[in-house]
Amino acid sequence: MPPLQIHKLFYISQDVFALGEFDPDGETSGTVVNISFDIEQSPENKETWNAFLSIESNIDKSENPPYSFKLEAMGLFTCSADVDEKAFRGNAFQMLGGSMRERLSMLTAAGPWPAFLLGAMPMSKAWETMVTGEPEA
């Protein structure tokens, strides 16, 4: 078994809306994105983990956003005993984040504006709840 394996990936929600007030000749990199990430370990099997990632456009803080969106995903993983929580968090965050980046691009490519390409997601989001127990507001 590999040290970390994703077995299932579910999109719990996929909401995308094209915004009519978008100006294609204006600012095109002004979309602010809120990110929430958390994990849980199975109480029955210490090698089974779930990871949850949510990305959502913050229209109120964005400048000229082409789309309003919210995507939520859940991944089911097995993880060998020698992989600690910090390593799991970092890897699961990147796996789910990469999948969301592709999904959002695919969903928006069918819209009236160019496909939305999600930029880098700060890795600090992977460890936020590990330190505080709750995502940053």
Residue 136 belongs to a domain: no
The three-state secondary structure class of 106 is helix
What total of structural domains would you count in the chain? 1
pLDDT computed for residue 123 by the predictor: 77
Strands 33-41 and 67-79: unpaired
The three-state secondary structure class of 4 is strand
Per cent of the chain over pLDDT 90 is: 66
Residue 79 belongs to a domain: yes
Q: Is residue 130's pLDDT more than 70?
A: no
Tell me, what CATH number does 92's domain have?
A: 3.10.420.10
Residue 16 belongs to a domain: yes
Pair 76, 106: CB distance under 8 Å = no
pLDDT computed for residue 134 by the predictor: 46
Pair 3, 79: CB distance under 8 Å = yes
Q: Is 26 exposed, middle or buried (0-12, 13-18, 19+ CB in 10 A)?
A: exposed
Domain span holding position 75 = 4-131
- The residues that bridge with 17 in the sheet, in sequence order, are 68
**Could you give the CA distance from residue 53 to residue 116 in angstroms, rounded to a whole number?**
18
Find, among 131, 21, 130, the residue nearest to 66 by Cα: 21
Greater confidence (5 vs 123) lies with 5
Residue 67 belongs to a domain: yes
* pTM as predicted: 0.87
The DSSP 8-state label assigned to residue 20 in this structure reads: T
